[in-house]
Amino acid sequence: MRMQNYTVLKLLLSVVFMSFVTDLNAADRFSVASGNWSDTVTWSATRGGPPGFSIPGPGDNVFIDDGYTVSVDLSDAICYSVTVGQGLSGILNIGRPTTQPNSQSLTVISDLTVNTGANIIPRRNNGKHMLIVGGDIYNNGTMRFSSGTRNGPVCNVIMNGSGSQALGGTVPVQFNDLAIESTSITSFITPGQTVKGTLLSDGILTADGNLTLLSDPLGTALVDGSGTGQVTGNVTMQRYLTEGFGYKYVSSPFVEATVAELGDDTDLTAGFPACFRYDESQAGSGWISHIAPADILNTLSGYAVNFGAVLAPLTIDISGTVADGNHSITLYNHNSSKTNGFNLVGNPYPSPIDWDAAGWTKDNVDNAIYRFSASTTDQYGGTYSSYINGVSSDGVTTNIIPSMQGFFVHVTDGAYPVTAMLGTSNTVRTNNKTVTFLKSGSAIGRFLIRAVATFADDTASADPQVIYFDDAASDGFDTEYDALKLLNTDIGLTNFYSVIENGKNLSVNALPLQAGEKLSVPLGLVTYRAGEVCFKLQTIENEPLTMNLLFIDAEAGTSINFSQGGEYRVTLPAGRHEGRFSLVFLKTTAGNEDVDYETDIISAYVSGNMIIAEVNDIDAGQGEMTVYDISGRTLYTREVYGPGRTVFHMNTGAGIYIIRYSSGTIQVVEKLIMGR
């Protein structure tokens, strides 16, 4: 946030300052009572003197004396300097304790000093106040500009002096949002300064190793990429992890930070390497140990780092010189059977980035990203999710990539080896402080389904896949619309995907709008153990009214209607299962017979106010015919004992109806539209 709301205010205050700074009546102002800045009873012209003097102005030195609390209740309070506390107390509140309709602002033209025992804090819940300082800040007491809650009161600080400004004193300050104006050269003198929100530098900020960008469950601080100035000297960035267990894909937001930066968060001397880099050209898995403390954490590269076997939350950190501006990395696809053209890259900035933003260079790079989430039971395993074209495979991963996060991309197939280039600029950066270290894409208006396969005895073993329809997609692999399938490394999970030409496996499959009456999508499954597997529809979005969605098991000769929330269970051995399962999209036509899946076991049609269903299979035995309305409510159920006709007199009138025939392992579903 650039704090532009205060630009007009600062211009007006500068005019006020020029008008009054030479006022012969300008004087010191001392607090002689607790109260509001705007109340004359709060102020005296002498320490301990009588109250009733004018409120502070641009030429006044303000002293908040011991024992008094003064609350800034104006949107444009101004003074020359402020000293809080003369000994062991004194409080300056930015804002009032009670609710007010507007946020408050205090401009200090020169220096701000907080003495030992005194403090400055923001007040009023949901308040966002402003402190503008033109001189130095000396803190020997307490200066806390953000609360411990996301919606609590905060005070944002602007350093707007002309020339050098210092942040010193014996006690560090916790800022919320901090802005360095273009005229300011601000130096952090005291170690331990922190920012909880956004750091924006249009001037020069010299951190000198004294600044930390904080991270907690509520969000992670960031450096605003729109700043036109510089942040020099070492900065430390934190990243809160909800669980420290297992491997995380991380990246460095700094230029040429080293592996030694990870040494306080993981054991670099462990028997099994705690840090790996990824080399796509390797004939093996691609993973190469990267644990020497002097090894560089390259900009735009990702690394797999194991933070141990503890499930408790963990806050990691890296220090270095802030990465800014343009960055690029050369990537490859050698068509290796193990690495398959995937490259592990990472967010190069101390701020989140937007994969869909302008400013990326993706030469020979597919438009999907692949994120990894560590297992909660297998320290060396985890799951992969993907995002492309506004769609995520799991409904969680989005286009926003947090700071310090690594992720896979795929170099486009071609004449091998394929050379690619991935590049970034500051325009890909975003100021979303609350995105977690792994979050859904939008596919508004598109017909989209999310299906999952899971072991029946372990609901946590589910693996999702997405199929959606886009008029720009093709039946083959589209680098702009499809996401490949990366097999999970957690052996307790299933691996569910759709299969297209050339044996490509997809986690997100974009298909052209359906022209024919039937579209069959082959499915694949890889399991690492035997067991009963449950296939079911997780969500369906924007389903056409004239569509049936069937899950087909060709080996068992079974079809299940997914549109009505059906599920299919089958016991399978460990291994790869392809050529057996599929999803079939069937179009229906109002008032006419529905297209059935291959066997034409039943036919159904509308005649006046009747639905007539016929069982055509001469081998059909006893079964059941059920009619539902579009909400899934059961309207009629009839027993059937073989081939023949069943008539349903529909007293419910016009609408969309579902008719299901079930007999043994056979289930066939038709959708009909009854006109008015």
Q: Give me 412's structure tokens.
A: 């486009």
Distance CA 627, CA 619 (A): 23
Residue pair 345/331 in contact (Cβ under 8 Å)? The answer is yes
Of 279-293, 397-411, 548-562, least confident by mean pLDDT is 548-562
DSSP string, 391-411: EESSSS--SEE-TTBEEEEEB
What is the pLDDT confidence band of residue 89, given thresholds at 50, 70 and 90? confident
What is the pLDDT confidence band of residue 561, given thresholds at 50, 70 and 90? confident
Q: Give 293: exposed, middle or buried? Use CB within 10 Å, 0-12, 13-18, 19+.
A: exposed
Residue pair 350/403 in contact (Cβ under 8 Å)? The answer is yes
The β-bridge relationship of strands 254-255 and 314-322 is: antiparallel
Would you report the helix, strand and coil content of the chain in percent, each value rounded to 5? 5, 45, 50
Dihedral-angle region of residue 423 (phi above 0 means left; psi in -120 to 50 means alpha; beta otherwise): beta
> pLDDT at position 598, please?
39
% of the chain at pLDDT higher than 90: 68
Cα–chain-centroid distance for residue 353?
Answer: 10
Mean pLDDT of all residues belonging to the chain = 88
When pLDDT is averaged across residues 562-578 and rounded to a whole number, the result is 90
> pLDDT at position 440, please?
37
Distance CA 598, CA 74 (A): 76
DSSP state of 144: B
- Cα three-residue angle 64-65-71, rounded to 5 degrees: 35
pTM listed for this prediction: 0.83
Q: Beta strands of 444-600 (E only): which ranges?
A: 448-455, 463-469, 483-484, 495-499, 505-511, 518-527, 531-541, 547-553, 558-561, 567-572, 575-587
The β-bridge relationship of strands 400-401 and 406-410 is: unpaired
Place of tokens 């599920």: 567
Distance CA 223, CA 231 (A): 9
Residue pair 253/318 in contact (Cβ under 8 Å)? The answer is yes
**Which residue type is seen at 32?**
V
DSSP-assigned beta bridge partners for residue 523: 498
Distance CA 572, CA 577 (A): 9
Of 189-193, 204-208, 506-510, 518-522, least confident by mean pLDDT is 518-522
- Of 204 and 75, the structure prediction assigns the larger pLDDT to 204
Distance CA 316, CA 241 (A): 8
Q: Is 4 a residue whose pLDDT tops 50?
A: no
Q: Is 125 a residue whose pLDDT tops 60?
A: no
In b/e form, how buried is each residue of 407-422, taking b as 16+ CB within 10 angstroms? bbbbbbbeeeebebeb
Closest CA to 438 of 239, 582, 602: 239
Q: Is the peptide bond before 253 cis (omega within 30 degrees of 0)?
A: no
Q: Give me 237's structure tokens.
A: 């960035």
pLDDT for 400-451, tens place per residue? 999 999 999 999 999 999 999 999 999 999 997 666 554 334 455 789 999 9
> pLDDT at position 592, please?
35
Distance CA 159, CA 168 (A): 14
Distance CA 578, CA 627 (A): 34
Q: Is 106 helix (H, G, I), strand (E, B) or coil?
A: strand
**Which residue type is seen at 341?**
G
- Say how many C-beta atoms besides its own lie within 10 A of residue 404's C-beta: 27
Cα–chain-centroid distance for residue 557?
Answer: 42
Q: Give me 617's structure tokens.
A: 């299979």
Residue pair 320/255 in contact (Cβ under 8 Å)? The answer is yes
- Of 147 and 286, the structure prediction assigns the larger pLDDT to 286
Residue pair 431/400 in contact (Cβ under 8 Å)? The answer is no
What is the pLDDT confidence band of residue 631, given thresholds at 50, 70 and 90? low
Distance CA 238, CA 220 (A): 7
What is the pLDDT confidence band of residue 630, given thresholds at 50, 70 and 90? low
Task: Please give the torsion angle defined by the CA atoms of residues 184, 187, 192 and 193, in that order, rounded to the nearest 10 degrees.
Answer: -10
What is the pLDDT confidence band of residue 465, given thresholds at 50, 70 and 90? very high
Its sign, for the CA torsion 118, 119, 124, 128, is: positive
